[in-house]
Structure 1
């Protein structure tokens, strides 16, 4: 898999291990490797998947 963003789909829950204070996030969109994620503590953030690796959350 060459595109690291291919696994992320809207509605998925994620955490950013580099920023645990952001809390749980829900992916809003995935366009060209840029994810818009709505985090509990800081709101919407656009992240580049070539620079940030998110952790998928299956049990919140």
Structure 2
């Protein structure tokens, strides 16, 4: 039985994100670009331009990696 009140994200990016990666939040665009600080399990700490450090649950939010071209 799943006691989590949120369904798992179908795009779990936790395994592909590493410290230093640049990301954006899929629904909070005003937060600006974020830099991943740490990834521990499904817990992702990101330092965003406009709101500072945020703890993201990777099971709920699929952060969008930014291409570094």
TM-score by length of 1: 0.88
1:50: which partner in 2?
Answer: 59
RMSD of equivalent CA atoms: 1.6
**Greater helix percent: which structure?**
1
- List alignment gaps of at least 5 residues for structure 1: none
Deviation at 1:13, TM superposition (A): 0.1
Show structure 1 runs of 4+ deviating over 2 A: none
Which one has a bigger Cα radius of gyration?
2
Normalized per residue, which structure has more strand? 1
